[in-house]
Amino acid sequence: MSKVMISKQNFIKFLHNFESQFHLFNDALTFLWLLTQITFQILVRVLMSVEPGEDMEFLKREFMEVIKGLICLPIKLPGFRMYKSLQAKERMLKMVRKIVYDRKMAMEKKETKDSGSPNDAIDVLLRDTGESDGTQQRLPLDFISGNIIEMMIPGEDSVPMIMTLAVKYLSDNPVALACLMEENDELKKRKDESGEGYAWTDYVSLPFTQGVISETLRMANIINAIWRKAVEDVEIKGYLIPKGWCVLASLTSVHMDEENYENPDEFDPWRWEKTGASVNSNKFTPFGGGQRLCPGLEFSRLEISIFLHHFVTSYTWVAEEDQIVYFPTVKTKRKLPIMVTPR
């Protein structure tokens, strides 16, 4: 899969959508629901530049139908969940194919195929040749459309869940919340005084905020394990994994191991001060690693940084009692009901 490279300016513009969406806050709010609405729009904009409106609503509706069928009885007959899900995927594909086709036609018309920064993932994939000298065939349009939908599936749920959990962990840790506010208030003040806009580097340079994100990712274990199948006999540290066998690598075990993290059950963003927050090492693998490293890594971290910045500098909140369940996947039992007030 091609790594998504979008101009930093456009990226920041997309993500600042958060600010304009915060008016949605009202008294009876489940935070996870709200964040899922906001991040879905951002994801669709980053992938294919669809703006809020009829098309966005269509995509949201069909996508919800698609994901309901990800874990279900594998019966492809009318009336069954899997059938409905596949039908919805087909309708989505039809729309995405049209968007990709129209974009390709527009690119060819303007003859600016390789100039300027790409605006979204479709632009990146349309320009991709698989070879750095541009001599190879471009990717087929059907492949691009399929890829866009494949990226929506892992992208939709993970980011709002991490944001919700960060807010939950912070609600339970007033000292960490105070440090986060101080760091972000300071950046906001600097920006207000200088009149400068935010840049990519502003967010990633906030060390405590990055520590909060890494600590949330470490404890939440959104993807708690990954599967691999041995395509040939492999020997690792004296153990033989025979060809054809499957291995389940548990990311949770690494992140909650006392040998790697002191008091692993404690939310401690300060622990990252020593190691640097955003390193992906063999002790910190929330986004996997190697050839299948998550292509949404930078996007997710930046999106969460921007969310935390706007949220803590503009609002205070009181979260109701909720419980985090870690198995089979991480969830907040009540989707975190919350009362939000402008600061």
- Name the closest residue to ligand HEM (Cβ): 296
Residue whose CB is less far from ligand HEM, 208 or 284: 284
7 CB-near residues (< 8 Å, 6+ apart):
117, 118, 119
Residues in the chain: 343
Tell me the site size for ligand HEM, rule CB under 6 A.
20
User: Quick check: 299 binds ligand HEM (CB under 6 A)?
Assistant: yes
Residue with tokens 């669709």: 44
227 touches 241 (CB < 8 A): no
Q: Which stretch binds ligand HEM (CB under 6 A): 81-89, 148-156, 169-177, 179-187?
A: 148-156
Considering only 158, 173, 184, 210, the residue that binds ligand HEM (CB under 6 A) is 158
CB of 287 to ligand HEM, least distance (A): 5
* Binding of ligand HEM by 286 (CB under 6 A): yes
Which of 1, 105, 175, 199 touches ligand HEM (CB under 6 A)? 1
What sign does the dihedral 277-282-287-293 (CA atoms) show? positive
The CA distances from residue 98 to 30, 67, 90, 145, 192, in Å, are 35, 22, 12, 9, 42
**Residue carrying structure tokens 């089979």:** 328
Cβ closest to ligand HEM, residue 300 vs residue 332: 300
Residues 6+ apart with CB under 8 A from 314: 19, 22, 342, 343
Q: Please, which residue, 15 or 179, has the CB nearer to ligand HEM?
A: 15
The residue range among 128-136, 155-163, 190-198, 259-267 that interacts with ligand HEM, by the rule CB under 6 A, is 155-163
Dist. CA 116–CA 10, nearest whole Å:
12
Q: Report, in Å, the least distance between residue 1 CB and ligand HEM.
A: 5
Check: CB of residue 12 under 8 Å from CB of residue 198: yes
Q: Is residue 146 a contact point for ligand HEM (CB under 6 A)?
A: no
Tokens of 127: 């320009």
Is residue 338 within 8 A of residue 31, CB to CB? The reply is yes
What are the C-alpha distances in Å from 210 to residues 69, 81, 183? Answer: 35, 40, 11
Site for ligand HEM in 178-237 (CB under 6 A): 222-223, 226
In the complex, the smallest distance separating the C-beta of residue 286 from ligand HEM, rounded to whole angstroms, is 5
Residue 162 binds ligand HEM (CB under 6 A): yes
In 113-259, DSSP assigns E strands to 225-229, 234-236, 239-241, 246-250
DSSP state of 295: T
User: Does residue number 287 form part of the binding site for ligand HEM (CB under 6 A)?
Assistant: yes
151 binds ligand HEM (CB under 6 A): yes
Which among 41, 60, 37, 57 is positioned nearest to 49, based on CA atoms? 41
Q: With respect to ligand HEM, which residue has the nearer C-beta, 59 or 222?
A: 222
Q: Does 18 bind ligand HEM (CB under 6 A)?
A: no
Q: Does 100 bind ligand HEM (CB under 6 A)?
A: no
Interface with ligand HEM, residue 155, by CB under 6 A: yes
Per CB under 6 A, the list member of 159, 206, 302, 336 interacting with ligand HEM is 159
118 lines the binding site for ligand HEM (CB under 6 A): no
* Cβ proximity to ligand HEM, 69 vs 296, nearer residue: 296
- Interface positions with ligand HEM (CB under 6 A): 1, 150-151, 154-155, 158-159, 162, 222-223, 226, 286-288, 292, 294-296, 299-300
